Structure formats: structure tokens, C-alpha cells
A = this chain, B = another copy of it.
Amino acid sequence: MKALEQKIISECKILEGDVLKVDGFLNHQIDVSFMNELGKELYRLYRDSGVTKILTIEASGIGVACLAAVNFDPIVPVVFAKKHSTKNISPDLYMSKAESYTHGKSFDIVVAKEYLHENDVVLIIDDFLAKGNAMNALIDLCEQAHAKVAGVGIVIEKLYQDGGNQLRKKGVRVESLAKIASMSKEDGVSFES
């Protein structure tokens, strides 16, 4: 989406360690009017996929996921996987392990079994896709539940980190509203259309 690319260019900050900071509309302040338009686009992309549920991960995925879900017809529920802090895994939970690119450590994510079923057709939504660690964990949760993954919907994909293309090679449908081809403090951000 051109409007998203322009917004990233005009509002992002590029920090040390390949971090793209978009706190002004996505990760701290949410530009709800703009994100609502992105939600409509995600619905347009997946309207024929029979989606019954949107799955995301706390915290910054929740806003995008809700603003996509409310634009579906009919509106679908959102389930957000939680970061799990205890060592004990309840038999009522699906659990998977993910590595955080930003924070450099791994964490467990969980979803209660009662909210993910084998008859669900799941659209997985997240704000960022880089190496794909969180996404692989979310897909793993769906597989544990024998739910069908309709595809993945991403606001910003860092194409050069290859997580998205690895998923595409496995046959997962990945739709990213902005694809960053390269990024540096010197040259800024460039997109692949």
C-alpha cells in the first residue's frame, strides 16, 4: 500500500541494530483511522478465504488484529497468544517457543485450547515480520490445534530478513502491506512493490 509506504518514510525512525521505530502510528500510539484502512485492505485480501478467527500475539498485534476483524463481514473474533512467564504448562494450553528479534531472548507463547479448534480457519496477523520467529510459533499453535491457516497478514515485512519468503516457500500465503527491501540510517527505507 502506497499510503503505508509514504507514512513509514515520513514518520519512522531507524535506530541502531536494524530497528524500525514506528511508535507514532503502530507500536505505541495507534493511528486508528489509518489502521482501520489497513484493516479494510486485509479483509479485501482474505475475504474469500473463509476466515473464522484472527490470531495475533500481545501486545502490539492486538490493535491491528481488532481493526482488521471489525472490517470482516461477518466480524470475526480475535485470539491473542500470550507471552508465558511460568515454567509450568497447563494441559489446557497450546504452547510454542519464539525468539524476540527486538529483545534478543526467547519466550514461550500460549493459547488456551478452548479458543483454537480444528474447524477454525485462521488468519494470523501481526505488526512486523522479520525473521519469522513469532510467526512460526503462531503457525505451530494452529498446527497443534489442527486448525487451518488461511494465511498471514502483516503490516510491515522486512523482506531482507527472509522470514516471509521462507514461509512462502513452505506454501503459506503471506500478505504484507509494506515490504521493506532494504533499510539503513544513511539511505533510509526502500520498498519492494
Contacts and interface: CB of A to CB of B under 8 A. Distances in A.
A65 to B, nearest CB: 8
Given A58-B58, A62-B59, A62-B63, A32 B70 contact: yes
B33 A78 contact: no
A58 B23 CA distance: 14
Interface string A30-66: 1111011000000000000000000000111011001
B32 A75 contact: yes
Range class of the A interface residue count: 20 to 34
Q: Which 8 A-B pairs have the closest CB atoms?
A: A58-B59, A33-B75, A59-B59, A32-B69, A62-B62, A30-B78, A29-B115, A63-B66
Interface in A72-102: 74-80, 82
The prevalent SS among residues of A at the interface is: mixed
A74 B33 contact: yes
Contacts of A75: 32-33, 36
Given A23-B112, A70-B70, A112-B23, A32 B78 contact: yes
A67 interface: yes
Contacts of A66: 30, 32, 35, 62-63, 66-67
